[in-house]
Amino acid sequence: MQEPAGPSETSITSAQSTISPPTPPAPEKPAKRRAGLFVYLALLVLTAAATAGVMYLGQNIMERKIESRETAFKLADLDERVIDPAEWGKTFPRQYDGYKRTVDIERTKHGGSDAFQKLDDDPRWRILFKGYAFGVDYREERGHAYMLSDQDMTERVKNFKQPGSCLHCHSSVINAYRKAGADAGVADAGGFNWPQVMKGFEVVCAEPWTEARKRVDHPVACTDCHDPKSMALRVTRPGFVNGIAALAKSDAPTPHLPSIERWRQGNRAKEYDPNVDATRQEMRSFVCGQCHVEYYFKGEGKLVTYPWHKGLKMEQMEAYYDEVKHVDWKHGISGAPILKAQHPEFETWSQGIHARSGVACADCHMPYKREGAIKVSDHHIRSPLLNISRACQPCHNYPESEILARATMIQDRNKALMLRAEDANLALISVIEEARKAGLGDADLDEMLKLHRKAQWRLDFVAAENSMGFHAPQEVARILGESADFARQGEVAVLRKLLGKK
C-alpha cells in the first residue's frame, strides 16, 4: 500500500495504478458485437471506478490509521477561536512537541538559527542600507517560537514608527482580524468567516504597531495552517490569498503550480482560491508562502501586498513596483529610489529544480519521522541540513556527508558571487557620492540612480533570501550577475560624466 504522502506522493515517483483496463474482446459475429462493446465499456467504467475507489480508500485508511492512533481524536473540542497551541497539543502531542522545539538554536555553515547582528557580520550592509531602518538593526532569523518577541525587540520597531501590518506574518492574528472586522460592522457568518477577516485585516494594517500589538499573544499557531474541524491544511493570510489570485490572473507561466494552470483554462468566473483550487502537495508549500515572501505595504492603509501581479520572478516583481512607482526609501548616500527585498523564499523556490519536480517546502523542512508505528510530519521547522537523513535521503540515495557537501558547494559559490555583487554596488555608491561632491545633481545622475536601484534590488533579493542560493542556484547566480553588471554600468557612466564624456 502507498505510504501517506511524503516523497512517494510528489510527482517524481507518483504512484501509478497497476490495474489496467481489460483488452478489447476479439471481433465476433455482428449480432454479438454491440453487446460485447457494451460489456467492454461497462467493464472499463467499473475498473476505473474501482481503481479510484481503491486509491481513495488507501489514502483514507492511512489517514484513519494515523488519526486513530493519535490518542483520542477530539476535534470537537477545537474551533476557530482556539489559538493556544497547548490546547491543540492535548489532541496532537507529537506535532505540538515538534512545534515547541522551534526554540532550539543551532547553526549550519550558512544558515540555521541564531539571531546575530548581520550588520556586524558584514558592516558593508550599513552602507547599502544607509538612510533606512535596516541599516540600524538587521539580524539572522531564527525559529518560529521567536517571531513575535523578535519583532518586539528589534530597533526597527523600537526606534521607527511601524504599522500594524507587521503582525500579518509575526503572530497568530486571524482572530484579531475577525474581531476588528466585527467591530467595523461586518456581520458574523460563522466558521472561518472571510468577509470579517478581510475587513479586520484592513483595519489592523492601518493601525499603529503599538496599538495593533495589544491584539495578539501568540506567534504562528496550529490554526494558521490547519482547519480545526478537519485538520486539513489551509491558508489564512489575506496577503497570500490576494497575492496568489493576482498571480493566477497574470498569465505568467507557473509550471510548478498545476492548479493555477488549470484554473486559467476554466471559465475564471470566480477568483483563484487556494483553499478550493490547490492540490494537497501545493498546499504543503502555500502554508509557508503565507509569510516567506516578498511584500510591501500598499498605500495609506499600509495593506500587506505581495507583488505577484506580473509573475513570481525577480524582474516581474520589479516591473510591478516600477509600474506602481513604489520606493522603499531614498538612499542615504546616492539618493537613488531603492527597493528593499524581503525573504523571497517562496518566489525563489518557485524557480528551482525542486519546485519543478513537485518537491514542497514541507518535504524538506517538515519531513516525516517515525514515532513508533506511525509517521508524523516534523513540526520542528528548521534548516534541513540539520536533518539530512530525513529531509534529503528519502530522495537522494547518497551518504549524508556527500549530500551536505553538494548543498554547501552551492552555497559557498553563491556567497562568493554575492560578495562580488556587493563590491560592485558599493563601488557605484561611492562614485555617485564623489560625483555629487563634484557638483552633479539628480538630473545629471538620473540614469545612474536608476541603475543603482536595479543593481541593489537584485543583490538584496538574493541576500534577503535565506537559503544562501540553495533553493534555485542558477536563478540566483543569474540575478547576481545582473546586479554586478548594472552596478558596473552605472559606475562607468558616472566616471564618463566626471571626465566630461557622453
134: closest CA among 293, 296, 329? 329
C-beta closer to ligand HEC: residue 9 or 491 = 9
| Contact by Cβ (8 Å): 291, 241 | no
468 binds ligand HEC (CB under 6 A): yes
Q: Which of 129, 132, 146, 272 binds ligand HEC (CB under 6 A)?
A: 146
In single-letter form, the type of residue at position 329 comes to: W
Cα dist from 49 to 11, 52, 183, 313, whole Å: 22, 5, 50, 41
96 binds ligand HEC (CB under 6 A): yes
Q: How far is the CB of 479 from ligand HEC (least distance, A)?
A: 15
334: closest CA among 210, 172, 454? 454
C-beta closer to ligand HEC: residue 272 or 461 = 461
200 binds ligand HEC (CB under 6 A): no
125 binds ligand HEC (CB under 6 A): no
Beta carbons within 8 Å of 43's beta carbon, 6+ residues apart: 21, 22
Query: What is the C-alpha separation between 293 and 243, in angstroms, rounded?
Result: 10
307 binds ligand HEC (CB under 6 A): no
339 binds ligand HEC (CB under 6 A): no
Q: How far is the CB of 414 from ligand HEC (least distance, A)?
A: 10
SS3 content of the chain, % helix, strand, coil (to 5): 55, 5, 40
Q: How far is the CB of 93 from ligand HEC (least distance, A)?
A: 8
Give the binding range for ligand HEC (CB under 6 A) out of 122-130, 196-204, 351-359, 435-443: 351-359
385 binds ligand HEC (CB under 6 A): yes
Give the binding range for ligand HEC (CB under 6 A) out of 140-148, 188-196, 331-339, 435-443: 140-148
Please, what is the Cα angle at 142 between 161 and 97, to 5 degrees? 120
Instruction: Please report the beta strands in 219-320, taking only residues with DSSP state E, as ranges in sequence order.
Output: 296-298, 303-305
201 binds ligand HEC (CB under 6 A): no
Cα dist from 156 to 138, 237, 334, whole Å: 8, 23, 22
491 binds ligand HEC (CB under 6 A): no
Nine-digit cell string for 359: 518537491
C-beta closer to ligand HEC: residue 51 or 108 = 108
Please, what is the Cα angle at 252 between 169 and 418, to 5 degrees? 60
C-beta closer to ligand HEC: residue 133 or 428 = 133
Q: How far is the CB of 393 from ligand HEC (least distance, A)?
A: 8
Query: What is the C-alpha separation between 288 and 309, in angstroms, rounded?
Result: 19
Q: Is 426 exposed, middle or buried (0-12, 13-18, 19+ CB in 10 A)?
A: middle
Spell out, one character per residue from 404 to 443, where the chain touches ligand HEC: x when CB under 6 A holds, - when not.
--xx--x---------------------------------
Q: How far is the CB of 236 from ligand HEC (least distance, A)?
A: 9
461 binds ligand HEC (CB under 6 A): no
Please, what is the Cα angle at 130 between 128 and 134, to 5 degrees? 85
Site of grid cell 531614498: 330
Give the binding range for ligand HEC (CB under 6 A) out of 29-37, 252-260, 349-357, 484-492: 349-357
Q: Which of 1, 12, 49, 103 binds ligand HEC (CB under 6 A)?
A: 12
Q: Which of 78, 154, 250, 463 binds ligand HEC (CB under 6 A)?
A: 154
286 binds ligand HEC (CB under 6 A): no
C-beta closer to ligand HEC: residue 451 or 479 = 479
Report the site for ligand HEC in 33-52 (rule: CB under 6 A): none
Cα 120 to chain center, whole Å? 27
Report the site for ligand HEC in 226-285 (rule: CB under 6 A): 226, 231, 233, 239, 280, 284-285
Q: Which of 68, 71, 159, 357 binds ligand HEC (CB under 6 A)?
A: 357
Helix (H, G, I), strand (E, B) or coil at 303: strand
Residues in the chain: 502
Q: How far is the CB of 336 from ligand HEC (least distance, A)?
A: 21
